[in-house]
A = this chain, B = another copy of it.
Amino acid sequence: MPEQPAAPRQLKLGAFMRPVSLHTGAWRYPGGWPDANFNFDHLKTMIRTLERGKFDAFFMADHLAVLNMPVAALKRSHTVTSFEPFTLLSALAGATERIGLVATASTTFDAPYHIARRFASLDHISGGRAGWNIVTTSNPDAALNFGLEEHVEHGERYRRAREFFDVVTGLWDSFADDAFVRDVESGVFVDPERMHVLGHKGEFLSVRGPLNIARPPQGWPVIVQAGASEPGRQLAAETAEVIFGAAPTIEDGRLFYADIKARMARIGRHPDSLKILPGAFVVVGDSLDEAEAIRARLDAGVHYDSGIASLSIALGHDASSFDPDGPLPEIPETNASKTGRDRVVALAKRENLTVRQLAQRLGGFSGLEMVGTARSIADTMEAWLVSEASDGFNIMFPYLPGGLDAFVDKVVPELQRRGLFRTGYQGTTLRDHLGLARPANRFFPD
């Protein structure tokens, strides 16, 4: 891919969302929108707030199944059902002007002709704002909805994903940008010499082409990935332009960042042609106390049954017999990840949490958190950016719409004051926002 022009380094900000929030207790938060899963007006309000905040992209989480969970947890979960992301993003394209629109599509359970067509169409409809989050879908519940009794093996999934990527991008290149002549006088609408028939036959896929849609405004919609495994990292280093990372600490972030950019260097890709955006759960208050009180209130919305299941998994030990209102007892060594368990034990000590509070914390959201004031959150983000732990973040809001409003009204202006974030959109496409070049057409490079 072509190199990027040098520019002052600023944060890139995506919003990673479920309609009610990713926090499992959020639907019970005062002033929240428990019905947002199927309330399109609420979604329009949210994305317009994000656009007011000059976010790079809106990214809706997705699953291809009602996840298999115990009934006690299922009945309390607002994450079971919501809009299908592709229809949602197409509808939101008409309600917005600039913000990028990233949808997830699986390379295991869909056909490349469909995927190429829909993302190209979204890119045309939105004027160049589409992004494709490539997932290989590791969820066995999803497999059962697509006629597969056993899930496809990991390595095979990634080989198929790579081939799928090559086919989809090849289909996007079916027409040269100047193929559509539309000369009313001579009666020539399209120049067949500027149309390429893909004729792909590979290990997993056979696709003739051409795609029945003009090349997308962005050339290709932006390629997004989240894989953290060895084959996932390699696929991302070869093909991704955005990685939605999951580093829980700044140290983890630096290691991941260095690893990916080194893999890119080895295959000759410019490091700026891929942006690494870890997910960050951000709770902002006017004081640290207020922010912590918001988080505590949010966690209190998590039912104990759900929380204790999460705590048991994190500890590798059944926690259901612990005294909910006592401190975390000593527990024997287990097979659970020692790092993960030590982190939970340290968290309980550091914040002096009861078993109930700890369970609700883990059941609500676990991962990278920033809980504080606009200044302290901006400090943290700046530290990540400056130390090359990330190129920005995918922000997760604690509850909606209030948690989103607080971020846009408080954190964004603080980042702008420091010169760390745009004060207005410079271009019109998602590639413009992210500073990514438009890829050349492999069949019509001129």
Interface residues of A (CB under 8 A from B): 27-28, 34-35, 37-38, 40, 44, 63-66, 71, 74-78, 80-84, 86-88, 90-95, 109-111, 113-114, 117-118, 120-122, 124-125, 127, 141, 144-147, 149, 174-175, 180, 182, 184, 187-192, 195, 205-214, 301, 303
Contacts and interface: CB of A to CB of B under 8 A. Distances in A.
A152 to B, nearest CB: 15
A76 to B, nearest CB: 5
A214 B38 contact: yes
B182 A118 contact: no
A264 to B, nearest CB: 31
- Copies of this chain in the oligomer: 2
A65 B212 CA distance: 6
Given A94-B94, A109-B111, A81 B212 contact: yes
B63 A212 contact: yes
Given A109-B113, A145-B207, 4 more contacts: A34-B189, A66-B195, A84-B120, A90-B91
A125 B28 contact: no
Contact of A146 (B113, B182, B187, B213): B113
A50 to B, nearest CB: 16
Contact of A94 (B91, B187, B189, B190): B91
Contact of A118 (B28, B44, B86, B113): B86
Contact of A93 (B84, B91, B182, B214): B91
Given A125-B40, A190-B75, A207-B147, A110 B114 contact: yes
Given A35-B182, A110-B114, A146-B111, A187 B90 contact: no
B64 A113 contact: yes
A223 to B, nearest CB: 18
Identify which of A111, A146, A208 gathers the most chain B CB atoms within 10 Å of its CB: A208
A83 B182 contact: no
B187 A301 contact: yes
A87 B86 contact: yes
Given A65-B212, A191-B75, A192-B71, A84 B147 contact: no
A328 B137 CA distance: 61
A92 B92 CA distance: 10
Contacts of A64: 113, 212
A111 B65 CA distance: 13
A286 to B, nearest CB: 25
27 contacts: A27-B184, A28-B184, A34-B182, A34-B184, A37-B214, A38-B213, A38-B214, A40-B124, A40-B125, A64-B212, A65-B212, A71-B192, A76-B189, A80-B212, A81-B175, A81-B190, A83-B125, A83-B213, A86-B87, A87-B118, A88-B121, A91-B125, A109-B111, A113-B145, A145-B207, A147-B205, A187-B301
A27 B91 contact: no
Nearest to A43: B125
Given A40-B125, A94-B94, A145-B207, A27 B189 contact: yes
Nearest to A77: B189
B188 A66 contact: no
Contacts of A27: 182, 184, 189
A144 B189 contact: no
